[in-house]
Amino acid sequence: MPWKQILESLNVFTVWQTYAALSAYFILILLPRVFQEVVPEDHARGHFITVIIRHAFQTYGTLFLVLSMAPILLGISVKDGWDFAAFFAHDPAHLIRFVLAQSALFFGSILLSVIPGVRHLFSLHVSLLTCSGLVLILPALGTYYPGLEIHRLELLPKPVYLAGFVVLVAILTWAGAIFSSRLIESRDAELTAVSISTLLGLIPFIIYGLWLGIQLDALLFPIK
């Protein structure tokens, strides 16, 4: 990935819409865990329900984040994110895609939580779900902005850049696991551990989105 250009694109953090979308995402991720704390330890049905709610909120939060931030990360608009989210959710032509994307992320969230060796790597969960969510909504984004040729974007970087991206994800996942393992020992620090892991897991999503934005800019304004 063109790391220099990605660093130059970090001005997405100068707009308040970015922080609003991230704040809403964190609330949706953390809220079910707060409810889970008040469920008695021996209440099996209660814990099962809270687990389902947690995955559902993870799904809704992921969809809200990618729908809100996709136009920002791709350098299209800082104001259209929520309009695009409403378009994606309510336009009949995209309702099925919305349901399929939501279902895929929901079952993906559950699957990641039960795979041995992966289920405790929450930073990895966040990275995979958010990047997957961004890929799933790109066709609808292309319909919303028909003249931008979003369908021409390459979804996978070149091998050398892909290797660097994978290494970055691995480092962030490892860091998230280390922080979580140290904090999770104290029950009162569970929300802090989840917050740090989520923050680390969002870094690959932002980098991936900015890389797609750099591609889009090159398509729209080719260097002659």
Which among 38, 81, 31 has a CA at the least distance from the CA of 56?
31
pLDDT digit string, tens, across residues 60-98:
999 889 988 888 888 887 776 667 666 666 666 777 778
Question: How far apart, in whole angstroms, are the C-alpha atoms of residue 185 and residue 147?
Answer: 52
Least confident range of 13-17, 37-41, 54-58, 64-68 = 37-41
- Residue 74: CA count within 13 A, CB half-sphere: 29
pLDDT bucket at 44, cuts 50 / 70 / 90: low
Q: What is the CA radius of gyration of the chain?
A: 18
DSSP notation for the chain: --HHHHHHTGGGGGSHHHHHHHHHHHHHHHHHHHHHHTS-TT-HHHHHHHHHHHHHHHHHHHHHHHHHHHHHHTTS-SS-HHHHHHHHHH-HHHHHHHHHHHHHHHHHHHHHHHSTTTTT-HHHHHHHHHHHHHHHHHHHHHHHSGGG-GGG--SS--HHHHHHHHHHHHHHHHHHHHHHHHHTTSGGGHHHHHHHHHHHHHHHHHHHHHHHHHHHHHHHS---
pLDDT bucket at 25, cuts 50 / 70 / 90: very high
pLDDT of residue 216: 85
pTM exceeds 0.75: yes
Question: How far apart, in whole angstroms, are the C-alpha atoms of residue 54 and residue 38?
Answer: 14
% of the chain surpassing 70 pLDDT: 80
Is residue 219 predicted with pLDDT exceeding 80?
no
What rounded mean pLDDT belongs to the chain? 80
Question: How far apart, in whole angstroms, are the C-alpha atoms of residue 161 and residue 163?
Answer: 5
Tokens of 211: 């890389």
pLDDT of residue 42: 58
Count, residues in the chain: 224
pLDDT of residue 133: 92
pLDDT of residue 129: 93
- Residue 57: CA count within 13 A, CB half-sphere: 19
pLDDT digit string, tens, across residues 109-167:
989 888 888 888 888 889 999 999 999 988 888 888 887 878 888 888 878 778 888 88
pLDDT of residue 45: 67
Question: How far apart, in whole angstroms, are the C-alpha atoms of residue 52 and residue 60?
Answer: 12
Q: Do residues 133 and 61 make contact, with C-beta atoms less than 8 angstroms apart?
A: no
Across residues 176-188, what is the average pLDDT? Answer: 66
Token match 């969809």: residue?
Answer: 63
pLDDT bucket at 176, cuts 50 / 70 / 90: confident
